[in-house]
Amino acid sequence: MPTSVSRVVTASRVAEVVGTLTRPAYASLADALRLAIGDGRIPVDVRLPSERELCERLGVSRTTATRAYALLTEQGYAAARRGAGTFTRIPGGRARTLDRALTTRVGDDLAVDLNCAASSAPPGLAAAYQAAVADLPAYLSGHGYYPAGLPELQRLLAEGYTQRGLPTAAGQMIVTPGAQTATAIAARALVRPGDRVLVEVPGYPNAAAAFAGAGARLSPVPVGPQGWDLDLLESTARRLRPKVAYLVPDFHNPTGQLMSEEQRARAARALADARTVVVVDESHQQLALADRQMPRPLAAHVAAAGGTALTVGAASKVLWGGLRMGWTRVDPDLAEAFTRARLTLDLGTPVLEQLALVHLLGDLAPTLAFHRERLREQRDALADALREQLPDWDFELPQGGLALWCRLPTPNAAALTEEAERRGLAVAAGPVFAPQGGLAAWVRVPYTRPVGELRRAVEILAEAWPIVRGEGLDATSTARRRVRSIVA
């Protein structure tokens, strides 16, 4: 367990997360605690205040406190330890929060899972689902298929783009189950076997796999500490005239780079001139951690240059991956091809999740503020721990996004991640982000878990690193190492 997490939650902290109780008070108190334990505002395995402390701080009766703890215990979110008090739990243990495809060790022996760069749900998610359930009856008399998306959601999403300087009609929005599905549909709609697709290296591997799966030949363009290699992007566009370019200009995964306004204009011009359709993945666009004006959407630059773009977005990184909510903004001339390709995969996105997203988007500012503050704190704690314990690793503090992209002094990332996993830390090595090989001296360390877990992760990395450092194997053949290949 994390070492730095306080093992006690105070009555004041409980009062803060619980807010105003409704009637019956015991059920309202238990509900609020269950939600806070579930979404991590109250950690797991900490002692709850005694019933007496709770009564005094919340101004409730002893019976209310006793019944609330009894209900919480019955639901599996708390357990009494004789003589020690009542402790928080998650029913089913942590294995319930992990998936076998993403994390090979889903048991309790996995101390920290940093294979996915994705946070736990922010407060307000369960309430949005409750509001969505209340809205649902109005939709039940229809057939429930929305291959384009619920009109209300399309409208809200379109408004968001218009406000960011990319005028968008609701009819240009197509709602999908996550950004990856949107990219996979784009690959189906746009790519034929043998077509060239420009991708970033390092880059988001599932997107590259979607284009490769559609038969594309991938043309990599590096993203380094100075950002995108625009000279190479321009010459690749001129020489190869790729059918598609897949770019993540806003807090690129895994480097965290943000493409500047000038770079966007250059990239857009080169790709528009080559008649390359630009698939812009904005999954991380709302994850700015510095107070700064964001550049205009890349698709706006593409439009200004006379080109065609398709912008992919999602609620996964800014709200919660479990929503499985994403979308695409298509230029009108691509709408039909995209919808046709979509219908070969699925016929729409679940109505309940779309309704929940409508509620969440209706009042996004406090959720965003909470999420960014939490990420800032976690990023800084991770950076401090790495600087202290692994001073010869190199990284830039990103202005946004979800991970530190760390350069190791020797190319042993795969060996490192294998050794770390033996010690209970799942984390992705550089080669995962290079579909054609390379990046053996890099590792992606997300700051998406609580500070205590991040410090534990760095302790594990610092134990594993001296064991594998300088080993020759990775440098000559990454293939000889088992590199975890499924990440998010």
Q: In angstroms, give the least distance from the CB of 12 to ligand PLP.
A: 36
One of 103, 285, 316, 328 touching ligand PLP (CB under 6 A): 316
Does the protein bind ligand PLP through residue 199 (CB under 6 A)? no
Size of the site for ligand PLP (CB under 6 A): 14
Instruction: Tell me the C-alpha to C-alpha distance, in Å, between residue 173 and each of 149, 156, 338, 381.
Output: 8, 10, 11, 38
Question: Which 2-41 positions form the footprint of ligand PLP (CB under 6 A)?
Answer: none
Q: Which residue has the tokens 């993945």?
A: 281
Q: How far apart are CA 206 and CA 186, in angstroms?
A: 13
One of 326, 398, 435, 446 touching ligand PLP (CB under 6 A): 326
Q: In angstroms, give the least distance from the CB of 180 to ligand PLP.
A: 3
Q: In angstroms, give the least distance from the CB of 176 to ligand PLP.
A: 8
Strands (E) across 90-172 are located at 112-114
Q: In angstroms, give the least distance from the CB of 125 to ligand PLP.
A: 15
In degrees, rounded to 5, the angle at the alpha carbon of residue 158 between the alpha carbons of residues 156 and 162 is 115
Q: Are 178 and 326 in contact (CB under 8 A)?
A: yes
Contact string (CB under 6 A) for ligand PLP, positions 102-131, x = contact? ---------------x--------------
Token pair recorded at residue 293: 């004006």
CB of 43 or CB of 249, closer to ligand PLP: 249
CB of 209 or CB of 385, closer to ligand PLP: 209
Q: Which of 440, 383, 385 is nearest to 410 (CA)?
A: 440
One of 26, 69, 204, 465 touching ligand PLP (CB under 6 A): 204
User: What is the helix, strand, coil percentage profile of the chain, to 5?
Assistant: 45, 15, 40
Instruction: Tell me the C-alpha to C-alpha distance, in Å, between residue 163 and each of 117, 157, 300.
Output: 28, 10, 12
Does the protein bind ligand PLP through residue 330 (CB under 6 A)? no
Residue whose Cβ sits closest to ligand PLP? 178
CB of 37 or CB of 185, closer to ligand PLP: 185
Instruction: Tell me the C-alpha to C-alpha distance, in Å, between residue 62 and each of 22, 54, 73, 255, 367.
Output: 17, 8, 17, 53, 33
Q: How far apart are CA 428 and CA 86, in angstroms?
A: 37
CB of 253 or CB of 412, closer to ligand PLP: 253
CB of 11 or CB of 118, closer to ligand PLP: 118
Q: In angstroms, give the least distance from the CB of 326 to ligand PLP.
A: 4
Residue 7 φ/ψ, nearest 5 degrees:
-85, 5
Does the protein bind ligand PLP through residue 398 (CB under 6 A)? no
Half-sphere exposure of 477 (CA within 13 A, CB side): 4
CB of 166 or CB of 314, closer to ligand PLP: 314
Residue 320 φ/ψ, nearest 5 degrees:
-160, 135
Contact string (CB under 6 A) for ligand PLP, positions 263-282, x = contact? ------------------x-
Q: How far apart are CA 133 and CA 137, in angstroms?
A: 8
CB of 32 or CB of 208, closer to ligand PLP: 208
Does the protein bind ligand PLP through residue 248 (CB under 6 A)? yes
> For residue 309, what are the β-bridge partners?
278
Specify the DSSP element, H or E, that contains 25: helix 25-38
One of 86, 253, 412, 448 touching ligand PLP (CB under 6 A): 253
CB of 283 or CB of 354, closer to ligand PLP: 283
Does the protein bind ligand PLP through residue 314 (CB under 6 A)? yes
CB of 243 or CB of 252, closer to ligand PLP: 252
CB of 168 or CB of 253, closer to ligand PLP: 253
CB of 21 or CB of 186, closer to ligand PLP: 186
Q: In angstroms, give the least distance from the CB of 101 to ligand PLP.
A: 13
* CA diameter of the chain: 76
Question: Which 440-459 positions form the footprint of ligand PLP (CB under 6 A)?
Answer: none
The burial class, CB within 10 Å (0-12 / 13-18 / 19+), for 193 is exposed
Q: How far apart are CA 255 and CA 469, in angstroms?
A: 22
CB of 114 or CB of 179, closer to ligand PLP: 179
Pairing of strands 227-228, 217-224: antiparallel
One of 124, 242, 249, 321 touching ligand PLP (CB under 6 A): 321
Q: Are 226 and 182 in contact (CB under 8 A)?
A: no
Question: Which 151-190 positions form the footprint of ligand PLP (CB under 6 A)?
Answer: 178-180
Q: How far apart are CA 220 and CA 49, in angstroms?
A: 55
Q: How far apart are CA 402 and CA 419, in angstroms?
A: 23
The one segment of 5-13, 61-69, 152-160, 313-321 that binds ligand PLP by CB under 6 A: 313-321
**Where does this chain bind ligand PLP (CB under 6 A)?**
117, 178-180, 204, 248, 253, 281, 283, 314, 316, 321, 326, 488
